[in-house]
Amino acid sequence: MDLSLNSYLLFWISVIGLCFGSFYNVVILRSLSNESIVFPASKCPQCGNKLKVWHNIPVFSYLFLRGKCAFCKKRISIQYPIIELITMFLFAFSFVKFGISYKTLLSIVLSSGLLIMTMTDLKSKLVDCNIAIGLAVVGFFYNWLVMSTPLDSFLGVLLGIVIFEVLAWSGYLFTKSRAFGEADTYVAAALGACFGVKGLLWVLVYTLVSAMIVIVPMFLYSQYKKNNKLTCVLFLMFLLSVLVFKFYFENFVTLAILAILGFVLAIDVLKKLKTEPSPTYLPLVPSFMLGALYYLFF
């Protein structure tokens, strides 16, 4: 395809992405307040005045209103332009990566659904399972009609459900509740439908990695604030021993030191987790999103 047509399409896909991002803001806001998505017209959440058309232009309105409502001058959340820009980026990157294809459509639909669920999860720990079910249906039809692998997609759904229900029920071994909510099972099933069995397993590996990147610093920070310096010191020593093993002395002694430190750290962390009053919040849906997008794009 020639370059000018490509950049022309990229421009319009970005514009469409911005508009969809604006719509997703409404979906995120209203799925948390149970309002209809289409009606009523957009209004300022603070003063209730109906917005004019030119107050509703993605990103640009935020900039030229300087982040304040035109009527009551209260601050508009930075979430609006950020969601719009992220959506634009996801649309544009899907097109750059997969060109004019069904995969681009799948990528756009999947990343949109994950973005909306991630935002409602981060804001109020609520996830609309209907979005995950919708993604599962789209993923299944994509694998059936485009890839001719309906069985793989179906098995992916089953695998996602089994893995996450087993993990969730294992929570009863330690506490008297599920380890995490039903929504995570729905999302895992949707990813299984989109990526099939092998794809799902890779996505779960990336999900675990991104969860660790988020959870470990969060946990250490909370331990630091609670004056549990020992955990932090143990963790840093463990990290150091991993680095030494990996890059300097890959031998039995360093491996033994690494294992002992890891064991002591694990016991210390488990002891601390038992005394936590409330179970630590696991940002699982955001991690799913990062894992799935990493697998999809790279």
Binding site for Zn ion (CB under 5 A): 44, 46-47, 69, 71-72
Q: Which is nearer to Zn ion, 65 or 232 (CB)?
A: 65
Residue 69 CB, nearest distance to Zn ion (Å)? 3
Q: Which is nearer to Zn ion, 47 or 273 (CB)?
A: 47
Q: Which is nearer to Zn ion, 40 or 277 (CB)?
A: 40
Residue 82 CB, nearest distance to Zn ion (Å)? 19
Neighbours of 225 (CB within 10 A): 8
Q: Which is nearer to Zn ion, 46 or 101 (CB)?
A: 46
Asked whether the beta carbons of 14 and 91 are under 8 A apart, the reply is yes
Which residue matches tokens 């514009």?
15
Asked whether the beta carbons of 285 and 188 are under 8 A apart, the reply is no
Residue 52 CB, nearest distance to Zn ion (Å)? 12
DSSP 45: T
Q: Which is nearer to Zn ion, 50 or 125 (CB)?
A: 50
Residue 86 CB, nearest distance to Zn ion (Å)? 24
Residue 49 CB, nearest distance to Zn ion (Å)? 5
**Cβ neighbours of residue 246 under 8 Å, at least 6 residues apart?**
none
Which of 188, 182, 155 is closest to 168 using CA atoms?
182
Burial class, 233, CB count within 10 angstroms (exposed 0-12 / middle 13-18 / buried 19+): exposed
Asked whether the beta carbons of 184 and 118 are under 8 A apart, the reply is no
Q: Which is nearer to Zn ion, 48 or 277 (CB)?
A: 48
Torsion of CA 155, 160, 166, 170, to 10 degrees: 170
The pair of structure tokens assigned to 67 is: 């982040």
Residue 51 CB, nearest distance to Zn ion (Å)? 9
**DSSP H helical ranges for the chain:** 3-33, 60-64, 79-98, 102-124, 129-141, 150-174, 182-225, 229-247, 252-275, 284-297
Q: Which is nearer to Zn ion, 46 or 175 (CB)?
A: 46
Question: Would you mind telling me the total number of residues written for the chain in this entry?
Answer: 298
